[in-house]
Amino acid sequence: RPRALARPCPYPACPAPQAPGAARRPPARLSAEQDAVLGAVLSGKSVFFTGCAGTGKSYLLKRIVGSLPPQSTYATASTGVAACHVGGTTLHAFAGIGSGKAPLGQCIQLAERPGVRQHWLACQHLIIDEISMVDGKFFDKLEAVARAVRKRDEPFGGIQLIICGDFLQLPPVCKANEETKFCFQAKSWRKCIQINMELTEVRRQTDKTFISLLSAVRLGRCTEEVARLLMQTATNRAERDGILATRLCTHKDDVELTNERRLQQLSGEVHTFEALDSDPVLVKLIDAQCPVGSRVELKLGAQVMLAKNLDVSQGLVNGARGVVVGFESEQKGLPKVRFLCGVTQVIKVERWVFKGPSGVYLSRQQLPLKLAWAISIHKSQGMSLDCVEISLSRVFENGQAYVALSRARSLAGLRVLDFDPKVVRADPSVLQFYRQLRSHQLLTR
């Protein structure tokens, strides 16, 4: 029978409770590069900062969010999962103009509605993460809406922009017959961004061979050495201690089918955990932003992944892999998970809080676990994974192979199946954009 996890908090906007006497861990020190970006943001300039995968962009963004006044700062991202990482909402939910494909006058009317207009006026600092997946036409529409609603002629209506992402990763999602337009190709981009900055120090991987391989793949280069190293990984045993490699899939349907099928194949009782949401009517909206579902089904032997940082010092971080080794016998029947980092721990309910439409806070209480036989490349963006298996034969977008490969922490924890050098590709317009920034010395480190 599904288990109720905890009483819902009557105040959705309140911070997640902390254990009595629990000391707050001091934040890790920023690198010189990260500190320079934070300094530029705090000086009031509109900043775009970029960097390859694993350079600490998401971590820095969280520090930036914590350094700006909360009442006038809105953290957003192109996708719900990325928005959850920065404790915010999707850019579309913030904007309140739907898909943005309606004529400008209609978009302005939508943004003038009570609630939506209120946060457009309150916003002084707008953070946008995973900018590579935001459509350039949508960015132009937002910029015009901001000026109209705020009745100010400065770029973006005088809002400071803090924009983060890597245009060499996943591109905007568009229909087959539509041309991809990146944000840097938007008419308003150059007048909105005052400083471009780059993080270059890779923190996710430490193996120099793997770092240089990823650097080549990011730029769409597949040398003989890159191909040889990736083909060699096909024989890697990426499993350890009963924990199997997570398969990264290009299509979401493959993920759901794989996880459901593998769970069914396990013998034993299914343990079902139902989430407690602050507003059950808005379950679809919460689903879109929360990294865990409204229902988590587990069995003994289920391959799982942590969906939240629990204890960074012990390696219990977002993306950490484990296997369910038992369930508590008492009423809640919480799962006991053995992780690849060597820790075995009973996993308790966690709480996510994020902004919904019109600035309303929503929350979900659920186990911070999801099934991990498979995960989609889109959902993996921003994550570090311990052991990864990738089939690259169905890669269909520029940057997709790079995003998949760069989720792995090491070559030893990576297994690439059916590798084809043709899947390593980068968008020429993005390469040209970065070249121009460097040649005009507009990209500071």
> What CATH number is given to the structural domain containing 135?
3.40.50.300
- 277 and 193 within one domain: no
Per the CB < 8 A criterion, the answer to whether 404 and 379 are in contact is: no
Closest among 374, 380, 384, 436 to 408, alpha carbons compared? 384
- 102 and 213 within one domain: no
Closest among 181, 246, 291 to 404, alpha carbons compared? 246
Instruction: Pick the last residue of a domain from 172, 202, 232.
Output: 202
pLDDT at 309: 86
Closest among 96, 119, 90, 122 to 109, alpha carbons compared? 96
Closest among 130, 55, 85, 128 to 317, alpha carbons compared? 85
pLDDT at 26: 52
- 270 and 418 within one domain: yes
Domain presence at residue 430 = no
Domain presence at residue 17 = no
pLDDT at 9: 29
- 335 and 297 within one domain: yes
pLDDT tens digits, 369-425: 999 999 988 888 777 788 899 987 777 788 889 999 998 888 988 999 888 898 899
pLDDT at 95: 92
Instruction: Pick the last residue of a domain from 202, 221, 255.
Output: 202
3-state secondary structure of 31: coil
- 370 and 324 within one domain: yes
Domain count, the chain: 2
Domain presence at residue 443 = no
- 271 and 195 within one domain: no
pLDDT at 241: 79
- 289 and 309 within one domain: yes
Instruction: Pick the last residue of a domain from 202, 217, 239.
Output: 202
Which domain, by its residues, includes 409?
A: 208-423
pLDDT tens digits, 315-332: 888 888 999 999 998 768
Domain presence at residue 379 = yes
In single-letter form, the type of residue at position 377 comes to: I
- 212 and 190 within one domain: no
Query: What is the DSSP code string of 210-256?
Result: HHHHHHHHHTT---HHHHHHHHHGGG----BTTBPPEEEESSHHHHH
Structure tokens at 96: 């309140």
Domain presence at residue 246 = yes
> What are the DSSP E strand ranges found in 66-171?
73-77, 89-90, 125-129, 160-164
DSSP 132: G
* CA 191 vs CA 77, 104, 121, 134: distances in Å: 21, 20, 21, 18
Q: Which residues pair with 48 in a beta bridge?
A: 163, 196
Domain presence at residue 198 = yes
- 244 and 186 within one domain: no
> How many other C-beta atoms can be found within 10 angstroms of the C-beta atom of residue 20?
5
Domain presence at residue 436 = no
- 412 and 327 within one domain: yes
- 374 and 299 within one domain: yes
Structure tokens at 190: 């150059």
- 260 and 120 within one domain: no
**265: Cα separation from own chain's centroid:** 30
Domain presence at residue 293 = yes
Rg over CA atoms, the chain? 22
pLDDT at 69: 95
Closest among 232, 203, 230, 205 to 217, alpha carbons compared? 230
Query: Tens place of pLDDT for every residue, the chain, 445 residues?
Result: 444 333 332 222 223 333 333 344 456 789 999 999 999 999 999 999 999 988 989 889 999 999 999 999 999 999 877 887 787 888 998 999 988 889 999 999 999 998 889 989 999 999 999 999 999 999 999 999 999 999 999 999 999 999 999 999 988 877 667 777 999 999 999 999 999 999 999 888 888 999 999 999 999 999 999 999 999 999 988 777 788 999 998 888 889 999 999 999 999 999 999 999 998 888 888 888 888 999 999 999 999 999 988 987 888 888 889 999 999 987 689 999 999 888 999 999 999 987 766 667 889 999 999 999 999 888 887 777 888 999 877 777 888 899 999 988 889 889 998 888 988 999 999 999 999 888 876 666 6
pLDDT at 442: 67
